[in-house]
């Protein structure tokens, strides 16, 4: 899998279905990543939309120096930073429950509660810590890819991950969560 590059190339060459595929494949993950900046679902959704509009209208050149996903998330990050410079988000994101598999209601309830505790604890961390945890554990980017997205060195990312994990552990212990 070329991570979206061929869909984008097809879109640039005039095939609109390429953009449809990109949006379908990347909007959800990009949205979750951008929430770590905005702490506001509506603002993050606006930034995701702006990111894809930027791709559709400006058609920036993907040079292949990183994976397509890394490049796209970097664009999304920059769009979000620009938006945050213009105004601050006003309404924090409420906890969102994921759909549970109804086979074992009690087990699913406990799992959902643990997820909520984890996400709450992550959201209480500094923005850079939220981002590095999300990119590493939820999106499974390598440290080099994270460094490219966050405009940091690999060593800075490693240090951020170390401190983010440490802060997350402390936060989870405060909240009584044991994951």
pLDDT at 90 over 60: no
Torsion of the alpha carbons at 120, 122, 124 and 125, rounded to the nearest 10: 180
Residues 118, 175 contacting (CB under 8 angstroms): no
Domains of the chain by residue range: 5-86, 105-175
Q: How far apart are CA 98 and CA 155, in angstroms?
A: 34
CATH architecture of the domain formed by 105-175: Orthogonal Bundle (1.10)
Q: Long-range contacts made by residues 156-161, C-beta under 8 angstroms, separation at least 24? A: 157/132, 160/128, 160/129, 160/132, 161/132, 161/133, 161/136
**Who contacts 62 (Cβ-Cβ below 8 Å, separation ≥6)?**
5, 8, 9, 68, 71
Rounded mean pLDDT of the chain? 82
pLDDT in tens, 122-173: 888 898 999 999 898 888 899 999 999 999 999 999 999 999 999 988 888 8
Q: Report the length, in residues, of the chain.
A: 179
pLDDT in tens, 20-33: 999 999 999 999 88
Which is higher by pLDDT, 88 or 112? 112
Q: Which residue has the tokens 């402390």?
A: 170
Percent of the chain with pLDDT over 70: 81
Fold of 5-86: Rna Polymerase Sigma Factor; Chain: A (1.10.1740)
């Amino acid at each position: 899998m070329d991570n979206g590059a061929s869909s984008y190339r097809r879109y640039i060459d005039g095939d609109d279905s390429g953009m449809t595929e990109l949006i379908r494949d990347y909007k959800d993950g990009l949205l979750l990543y951008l929430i770590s900046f905005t702490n506001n679902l509506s603002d993050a959704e606006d930034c995701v939309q702006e990111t894809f509009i930027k791709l559709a209208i400006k058609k920036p050149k993907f040079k292949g120096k990183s994976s397509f996903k890394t490049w796209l998330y970097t664009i999304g990050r920059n769009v979000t930073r620009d938006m945050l410079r213009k105004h601050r988000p006003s309404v924090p994101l409420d906890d969102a429950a994921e759909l549970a598999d109804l086979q074992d209601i009690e087990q699913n309830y406990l799992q959902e509660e643990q997820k909520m505790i984890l996400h709450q604890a992550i959201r209480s961390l500094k923005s850079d810590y939220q981002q590095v945890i999300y990119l590493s554990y939820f999106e499974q980017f390598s440290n080099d890819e994270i460094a490219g997205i966050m405009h940091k060195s690999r060593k800075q990312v490693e240090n951020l991950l170390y401190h983010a994990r440490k802060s997350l552990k402390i936060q989870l212990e405060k909240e009584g969560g044991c994951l």
